[in-house]
Structure 1
Amino acid sequence: MARADNEIAIVSPLTARSASFNYYASGIPLAEDDDFFMRAALAGKCDRLRPFTVPVYDIRQSREEFNINVQGFQVLKHSSSLLPPCQPEGTVNFHDADIVKSIYWGEITTLVKKSFKARGATVVSTTVRDVDSRDQTTYDPKNPRNDPRASFTPFFFVHADYSATGARAHLRALVPERFFNEIGMTPYTSLEERETFLSLRAQVLAAEDTAITQAGVNAADWDGSNYEGPRWAMFSIWRPLSTVRRNPLGLMDARDLSAHETLPRIYRNRPGFEPAYKSANILPYGPDSEIHRWYWLPEQKVDEVYAIKLFDSEALKPGGPAAFSAPHSAFELDGTGDLPPRQSVDVRVILIW
């Protein structure tokens, strides 16, 4: 995939700083009802996390040509009509679901289709991070993203959002008859856009079913290598709501994802999806012997957007893209503990080519 027209050019010499990242460290398999994920996510502390100090390289000064197909992430240049210079900083409430769905979601689907040449795309959820800590009794910890008004803290543990089986579960659990209505996007999308996405999704599922049958395995054991349907992926489109001076997001080169634990999870009562379905996250182990390359964008601005790969069907095929899913985590910057919380918005998108 060629570099997008709006991708930030990276050409300068390489520099790095040291930072601590929390990796999953327990050898105990995780169960569906394990509360590890939310305990680690909300507190950044857990008996199964182990800190590792690693170099984090400055994206602005790297010689790398960062690409979603290679490292698993890109930096895109994109201005939103809800943010500076179009609006004064802080004037738009990103917890307002009507504003986000009527304006921002459309901006993001347009951005990803143009940047990555996808035929269909839809937003699945939005997460706003703008607090230091939160009361865990004020929302459902099993389904925190169901409440569009929820504020989150940065997540201080290394994770990649979906295993292959987990990503497929999300696509399959989407209920076409009510998805766009229940997520609130019917008024803000055209009939053609909705029909295109749902038609492409049906083609993906039919091709997966055929490939699984041909492989002679259960769906949970299928490795995806013989899939011949439309390419599809899940991305996170991550943007600061103000210049990031505290708790930036670090991105690990997806090619360095090796030893890891799979965390099964059950999602319940998500708008537009089946009432309950199983998914799974990836928790990389720390770099005891291998090298993990980490990157960040110092003082990331509101028009500097991370596109982060969460899943890619092509990466499972022989000769496909190197990057399957890019691990990521917030990390602390020395001397910034008294600054206001980082403000950012993360939109998860399904793309189909």
Structure 2
Amino acid sequence: MKIATLLAVFTASVAVSAAPAFGVTDASVEVARDQVISARDKYLWCGDCSGGKQFSEESSTERAEQKKQVLGSFNYYNGLGTPALDDLTIIEGTSPDNKTYHVPVTDLRSLPAPLSSYTHDKHGFQIVRQPLPISPAPGSVHDHKVMTNEYYPVMTDLLKKTLGARCVTVRKHSLRDIPNWEIIGMNPEVGFEIESLAPFNIAHSDYTPAGARGHFRAMKESDWFSENDTADGCTTPGEREEFLRLRREIIEAEDRAIAEAGIDPEGLGDDKRPTGGHWAWDGSNYDGPRYGFFSIWRAWETVRRDPLAVMDMSQRASEDIDYAPLTRTYRNRPGCVPFYYSQNAMILPSNVRRRDSGFDDGDGDREHAWCYLSEQTPEEVYLIKFFDSEALPSINNAYLKREKPTANMTSKQTSKHEKRKQRQQETLKLQEQLRALLGGDTTPDGTRIEGIEMQLSANLLKIFELCPDVSPVSLWEEGGPLHKIAYSRNAVKSVVARLKQKTTESGLTYSPISSPAETTCDTDMATSEKAAEDTISVASRQEDDSMDTEEQVRIGLAAASLSAPDAGEADTEETSQYYTARREDLSCLESGTRLTGKVIFDALQLSVKLNPLRYIILDPVASASILETPFDYPNHRHQQWVLVKFDRLRNIITVFDLSSISPTVSPEVEAHVRLLATYLVMTDLVPTVRSGACPQQISIDDCGVAVIVNGMRAISTCPTVVLQGSRRCDMKDYTL
């Protein structure tokens, strides 16, 4: 598998936001042409395609006294396994498998090479100069007819002249003018419909080779141009007929090569993952017309911050790129079959030791060769290549990932290849053991075993060993340790740890609640009232400071009230003795402590460990504006306390807001909810942040849930977090 140009929207060290301040049109195109011209002559630089003066080189040569670099923040997919189907959290930036690295980024203007010297065959991208064909005003770029009837034809002509292509069709365009994914519900499909998308803030290529073919083969000949509004006014009947003829010729040639490779061209697929056909083909022995996928990237105004970064595939550091395929499903796309698959390539970070500082890239530097065009103007257009049918079989092309050792590979590259091969073999071995024990290709909850990476497979087998008296399949049944498990390393490791320590909660039962307002008191009223009386002082901090003098915070009573009906008295006593939290254990949370990621994470881990029910009460402080607001019910500075529930099996944190039901909640319901809580109160979770983006309650419309979710976000994404839109701050700025 090989990929072409890699992209990322990066934040330079001098930037103030991760959200771009400009709209960018991202027009993806397919290019088809005959194979009669030699590779050297096939794509020639054509200068100014609009007939104006040749590209000015002054900006590159006169200012190139020395190479200019900045330190950019890049998000990489850092997971060990293949991403789950349609895992859009990777793109949106909330996936726990994403990791930020700081690497040098070179300004192309500071290099002695003219901008016109960059070619897609060598570097994976080109930069051409073209006057704006339409007005950059929002009313123009957001007018669908203006884009399809005026902008599209000019861009197809640009591709034809610059690349020497016979036929070009535009698939879609997107304006990157949304600051974050939450606005469209973290769903790119919604963004495609409204033709606006948030930035993909992760190193990626839009397509794997199979993903590009997936889009290409999904076109419906009868409806492609009409449903995409690229028929009359955008293309001529002759252009449409020629493109569709070449498309048929391309697919027929691919199917012949696939059959020659011993693969059924039809392929298979289900609701989990596509298999066979062109998905299993490496692109070899293809003899049809050359075709490719490009993106035309234009800024509608001069870029002042957060520019697009592209990877220079001619550099040695780019010769051995690894990626993880993110398979996605597409439904009811205009001009396409009702359902099909494609893939994005999520770029993996370099496995060598990263410097994370400095700017010099000497012979030993293996950082990815990222570069950008400073102050890119609307007249400077990127042509970015994502797929090229002729590049696939060639092992000498600069932007290809090498699949096997060759004579000119260094010993370091060979060693890396051998380690990867050994890891793949070990993964297959473990997966085969899982299949044998489970009697099929999927786990009892329907997860395909081939998608479970090596470490997860090993831990699942370890769980089977720790439960020798039950069948592996039964572990997924309700009440079993793998019931509704999240297939993440932390979730499965926590199951292994619990089984090893034999501290499972077999004597305790509880039912997850969807809303405190709907909770009913299942315990005897007298028991509930007694429990509430004994524990109320530690469930939520009141004006009275008497709880500070308590030597211990015991939660055995709550555990006993929720224990199974047949649990004996001895079992209850043993549980209450085991789950006892000492006040001094929480000294790290004293007022004034620097709330670093480690401090808060350790405190939460301790509270969860001491709490068999996995609940914590968090008590954010209310601002002065709230305290001065008259309410119909009693108000004090700790009114907005919320309940956080940890589900380590499924790796889920659920947040409940009791303040929203404070006026009407019955004492019985509130007492029952308090019984479910760990009796740890964290006052002033994150009241001060120097950036001003403080996750405390700042208005009556800012509910306690939002406050705590922001706080939890800060805890889980240390060191850099996004709290409100484009505001950024570091964990070191949080204090108790």
Q: TM-score, normalised by structure 1?
A: 0.83
Determine the structure 1 residue equivalent to 2:331. Answer: 268
Report the CA distance shift for 1:190/1:324 in structure 2 as closer, same or farther (over 3 A).
farther
CA distance in 2, matches of 1:175, 1:20: 41
Further displaced range: 91-100 or 193-202: 91-100
Give the secondary-structure state (helix, strand or coil) at the position aligned to 1:171. helix
Give the secondary-structure state (helix, strand or coil) at the position aligned to 2:346. strand
Deviations 1:55-85 (A, max 9, x none): 11111122343110111111110112214xx
CA distance in 2, matches of 1:145, 1:132: 12
The code of the aligned residue for 2:387 comes to F
CA distance in 1, matches of 2:367, 2:247: 37
Aligned ranges for residues 149-164 of structure 1 at < 5 Å? 149-164=194-209
Q: Post-superposition shift, 1:51?
A: 1.1
Identity of aligned residues (%): 34
Q: Post-superposition shift, 1:145?
A: 4.6
Determine the structure 1 residue equivalent to 2:384. Answer: 308
Determine the structure 2 residue equivalent to 1:200. Answer: 246
Give the secondary-structure state (helix, strand or coil) at the position aligned to 2:154. helix
Deviations 1:61-117 (A, max 9, x none): 22343110111111110112214xxxxx52643121111001111111110011000
CA distance in 1, matches of 2:153, 2:185: 27
CA distance in 1, matches of 2:72, 2:198: 19
Higher relative strand content: 1
Deviations 1:266-285 (A, max 9, x none): 11111001111011110111
Report the CA distance shift for 1:318/1:230 in structure 2 as closer, same or farther (over 3 A).
same
CA distance in 1, matches of 2:198, 2:383: 20
Determine the structure 2 residue equivalent to 1:74. Answer: 126
Q: Post-superposition shift, 1:15?
A: 2.1
Aligned ranges for residues 316-327 of structure 1 at < 5 Å? 316-318=392-394, 321-323=397-399
Further displaced range: 4-13 or 97-106: 4-13
Give the secondary-structure state (helix, strand or coil) at the position aligned to 2:391. helix
Contact 1:82/1:92, CA 8 A, preserved across alignment: no
Further displaced range: 126-135 or 175-184: 126-135
Determine the structure 2 residue equivalent to 1:23. Answer: 76
The code of the aligned residue for 1:274 comes to V
Q: CA RMSD in A?
A: 2.2
CA distance in 2, matches of 1:321, 1:80: 33
Contact 2:44/2:162, CA 8 A, preserved across alignment: no
Q: Post-superposition shift, 1:315?
A: 0.9
CA distance in 1, matches of 2:125, 2:259: 33
Determine the structure 2 residue equivalent to 1:227. Answer: 286
Q: TM-score, normalised by structure 2?
A: 0.41
Report the CA distance shift for 1:125/1:248 in structure 2 as closer, same or farther (over 3 A).
same
Give the secondary-structure state (helix, strand or coil) at the position aligned to 1:128. coil
The code of the aligned residue for 1:243 comes to T
CA distance in 1, matches of 2:192, 2:303: 26
Determine the structure 2 residue equivalent to 1:166. Answer: 211
Determine the structure 2 residue equivalent to 1:345. Answer: none
Report the CA distance shift for 1:74/1:274 in structure 2 as closer, same or farther (over 3 A).
same
Determine the structure 2 residue equivalent to 1:183. Answer: 228
Give the secondary-structure state (helix, strand or coil) at the position aligned to 2:142. coil
CA distance in 1, matches of 2:86, 2:211: 15
Report the CA distance shift for 1:243/1:142 in structure 2 as closer, same or farther (over 3 A).
closer
Contact 1:38/1:141, CA 8 A, preserved across alignment: no
CA distance in 2, matches of 1:245, 1:60: 15
Determine the structure 2 residue equivalent to 1:334. Answer: none
Report the CA distance shift for 1:300/1:3 in structure 2 as closer, same or farther (over 3 A).
same
Determine the structure 1 residue equivalent to 2:105. Answer: 56
CA distance in 1, matches of 2:195, 2:255: 37
Higher relative helix content: 2
Contact 2:83/2:326, CA 8 A, preserved across alignment: yes
The code of the aligned residue for 1:71 comes to H
The code of the aligned residue for 2:232 comes to P
Deviations 1:220-241 (A, max 9, x none): 2211121110110000000001
CA distance in 2, matches of 1:245, 1:167: 32
Give the secondary-structure state (helix, strand or coil) at the position aligned to 2:259. helix
Determine the structure 2 residue equivalent to 1:39. Answer: 92
Q: For structure 1, which runs of at least 5 residues remain unmatched after alignment? A: 84-88, 326-336, 339-353
Give the secondary-structure state (helix, strand or coil) at the position aligned to 2:298. strand
CA distance in 2, matches of 1:263, 1:16: 31
Report the CA distance shift for 1:18/1:320 in structure 2 as closer, same or farther (over 3 A).
same
Report the CA distance shift for 1:176/1:304 in structure 2 as closer, same or farther (over 3 A).
same
CA distance in 2, matches of 1:263, 1:67: 28
CA distance in 2, matches of 1:316, 1:93: 39
1:278 aligns with 2:341: yes
User: In structure 2, which of residues 365, 371, 381 is the aligned counterpart of residue 295 of structure 1?
Assistant: 371
Report the CA distance shift for 1:140/1:200 in structure 2 as closer, same or farther (over 3 A).
farther
Give the secondary-structure state (helix, strand or coil) at the position aligned to 2:243. helix
The code of the aligned residue for 1:199 comes to R
CA distance in 1, matches of 2:348, 2:397: 23
Q: Post-superposition shift, 1:150?
A: 3.9
Determine the structure 2 residue equivalent to 1:348. Answer: none
Contact 2:173/2:195, CA 8 A, preserved across alignment: no
Further displaced range: 231-240 or 250-259: 250-259
Greater RCO structure (CA 8 Å; 6+ sep): 1
Report the CA distance shift for 1:144/1:29 in structure 2 as closer, same or farther (over 3 A).
same
1:97 aligns with 2:144: yes
Deviations 1:13-47 (A, max 9, x none): 5321111111111113212232334432xxxx431
CA distance in 2, matches of 1:144, 1:108: 25
